[in-house]
């Protein structure tokens, strides 16, 4: 059974933005969409080792800061070169002002 882990407070993430969350030797990216929903993916781009939390959130897209590779952070889908491999996503819930992610 995967654990729910507290990633951050709701207010830690601006609307249409992303922050980095490190846990258990792994790095995740926590997103807040323009319609105020939260999502989580692996923190590194699947193309090369770059922190997605340094990238740009536009609508439902996260753009990697290194080569501008784009993913849909809600589904993890890679949107074209230079990213070809989808991003892993994680279930997210908000409880008492905290963003929780389920890490498998």
Partner 1 sequence: MTGMTKKRDYSLVGESTRRAIETGLASAEWYHTDVSRKAIKELMQRSDGPAIRDTVIWIVAILASAAGGIYFWGSWWCVPFFFVYGLLYGSSSDSRWHECGHGTAFRTRWMNDVVYHIASFMLMRNPVTWRWSHARHHTDTIIVGRDAEIAVMRPPDLLRAALAFTGILDFRYSLPALVRQAFGKLTPDEKSYVPEMEQHKAVIAARWHVVIYIATIALAVYTRSWQPLVLVGLPRLYGTWHMVMTGLLQHIGLADDVVDHRLNTRTVYMNPISRFIYWNMNYHVEHHMFPMVPYHALPRLHELIKHDLPEPNPSIWHAYREVWPVLLKQLKYEDYFLKRELPPTARPYRGEFHDVNMSAAAE
Return the residues of window 32-91 that contact partner 1 according to CB under 8 A. Answer: 47-49, 55-56, 58, 63, 65-68, 70, 79, 81-82, 84
Residue number with CB closer to partner 1 (5 or 65) = 65
Question: Rounded to whole angstroms, what are the CA distances from 7 to 4, 50, 66, 93?
Answer: 9, 20, 24, 10
Q: What's the chain's Rg over C-alpha atoms?
A: 13
* Least Cβ distance, residue 94 to partner 1 (angstroms): 22
Bond from prior residue into 71 cis (ω within 30 degrees of 0): no
Which positions lie near partner 1, rule CB under 8 A?
17, 47-49, 55-56, 58, 63, 65-68, 70, 79, 81-82, 84
């Amino acid at each position: 059974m995967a654990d729910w882990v507290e990633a951050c407070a709701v207010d830690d993430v601006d609307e249409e933005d992303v922050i980095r969350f490190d846990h258990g030797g792994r790095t995740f990216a926590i997103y807040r969409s323009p319609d105020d929903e939260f999502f989580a993916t692996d923190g590194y781009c699947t193309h090369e080792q770059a922190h997605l939390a340094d990238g740009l959130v536009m609508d439902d897209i996260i753009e990697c800061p290194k080569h501008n590779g784009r993913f849909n952070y809600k589904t993890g889908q890679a949107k074209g070169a230079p990213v070809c491999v989808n991003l892993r996503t994680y279930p997210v819930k908000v409880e008492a002002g905290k963003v929780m992610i389920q890490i498998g």
